[in-house]
Amino acid sequence: MNARTRARAAARLAAVQALYQHAMEKTPQAQLLDEFHRHRLGAAIDEDVYADAEVAFFDDIVKGVIARTEEIDGIVGGKLAGGWTVARLDKTMLQILRAGTYELLARKDVPTGAAISEYVDVAHAFFEPREAKFVNGVLDAVAKDVR
């Protein structure tokens, strides 16, 4: 994996974490971005070293998801099995799907397969393989509509 690929992978993971914090604590966007820039992206906290992330890419995902949450949730909700709603999803899972959907919608510079596999990898950081397959299925369905 080259340095840019690693930096983007780190940016995606950090974006999911930032979006989770925003959803749970209602941290204002400017404060959220500042906190991640100063303390998380490429920093070491209690021996946890955060990988150097592509900051502009991180910012775009976070700002884009926050700005387009309603649109994104409509797209994701349309891909869930009958009886399931966005509100029923695990909060971390929802942020992974939101970030992946945003990237598929707005980042045409990122190949479809790369975007999907990167968010499957993010899902593996938090969930069992079954949930990672769920991310793959939903984002694949999203990509068929938006790409």
Handedness of CA 89, 91, 126, 97 (dihedral sign): positive
**Could you give the angle at the alpha carbon of 41 between the alpha carbons of 38 and 45, nearest 5°?**
75
Banded pLDDT at 28 (limits 50, 70, 90): very high
**Average pLDDT over the chain, rounded to an integer:** 92
Give the C-alpha separation, 38 to 27, whole Å: 15
Tokens of 96: 């992974």
Question: Distance between CA 31 and CA 68 in Å, rounded?
Answer: 19
Is the domain covering 3-146 a CATH 1.10.3210.10 domain?
no
Terminus-to-terminus CA distance in the chain, angstroms?
Answer: 25
pLDDT digits (tens, 9 = 90+) for 108-118: 999 999 999 99
pLDDT digits (tens, 9 = 90+) for 35-54: 998 887 765 555 555 557 88
User: For the chain, what are the domain ranges?
Assistant: 3-146
The rounded distance, in Å, linking the Cα atoms of 122 and 7 is: 13
**Residue-level pLDDT at 50:** 53
Has this prediction a pTM greater than 0.85?
Answer: yes
- Tell me the helix, strand and coil percentages in the chain, rounded to 5: 75, 5, 25
Mean pLDDT of the region 57-77 = 97
For 97-116, what is the mean pLDDT? 97
User: To 10 degrees, what angle do helices 55-67 and 69-77 make?
Assistant: 80
SS3 38: helix
Q: What was the pLDDT predicted at 43?
A: 54
Q: Which residues contact 146 (CB under 8 A, 6 or more apart)?
A: 75, 101, 104, 105
Does pLDDT of 60 surpass 70?
A: yes
